[in-house]
Amino acid sequence: MIKILFQGDSITDAGRDYFDSHNMGFGYPMYVKQMLCEKYGEDKFEFVNLGISGNQTYCLKNRWQKDCIDIQPDIVSIMIGINDVWSRCAERNWLENEVFESNYRYLLEQIKEKTKAKILILEPYLLPVEDKLYFREDLNGKIDIVRKLAREYADAYVPTDGLFAAALLHSDIPSLGGDGVHPIEGGCKLIAKHYYEAVIPLIESLKFVVIILLTVRQASRLSKKRFARLHILKASHI
């Protein structure tokens, strides 16, 4: 069974039940689960959603041991960053990019050092709604940092900001997410579609590893049985 952990802020949280970490809420994790179960079957996965509304990178850092490392996922996805911008927008007292990068890098380093998980990163995004356009003063630099970190650490990457920009050529903002940050059904399905496409190669690579391990274990058991039979035959001739 492959364990997939969804981590992030309200976009990942999406109204999930905090008393049931296997509850996917009503956002993109729900649609990802549906698509993967349809392709592979429900018995092939354990899905865990620990996104928390309002979280920033420092929040994930503070709970990372309990809410990621201790879980030992096979695949962990992270979408974080928009609240690092939004929480400081009133006075444009933006979080230093060095601090943002340090927080995010900590998460990725911990995964690499203390788990065997594949890493899927989704970049933060913003739809061009009038009252939040100035977020770009800070957000663009942080998206660049996420992309740089992805090149260093990620096994798969979803360029969410760019995907929404492309989608807006054929859709309007209200059909994707009216406030520019929180996606409605159309936006959630867009994220889920590209998440699904990005995660499939990771799942296939894990399946290949499992097949190899099972083959090795089976061969080991056969070797032990043959050794035992040989030992019995030798003993019978003594």
For residue 228, what pLDDT is reported? 55
CA 74 from chain centre, in angstroms, equals: 10
- Alpha carbon 202 to chain centroid distance? 11
Q: What is the pLDDT of residue 212?
A: 46
Q: What is the pLDDT of residue 40?
A: 97
Residues 111-150 pLDDT 10s: 999 999 999 999 999 999 999 999 999 999 999 999 999 9
In this prediction, residue 207 carries a pLDDT of 86
Residue 40: count of CB within 10 angstroms of its CB = 14
**Residue 238: its pLDDT value, please?**
58
User: What secondary structure does DSSP assign to 122-187, as a single string?
Assistant: E-------GGGGGGHHHHHHHHHHHHHHHHHH-SEEE-HHHHHHHHTTTS-GGGT-TTSSS--HHH
Question: Which residues of the chain are under the pLDDT cut of 50?
Answer: 212-214, 216
**With contact defined as beta carbons under 8 Å apart, do 51 and 5 qualify?**
no
Are the C-beta atoms of residues 48 and 222 closer than 8 Å to each other? Answer: no
Rounded Cα distance between 132 and 160, Å, is 17
pLDDT, residue 233, reads: 52
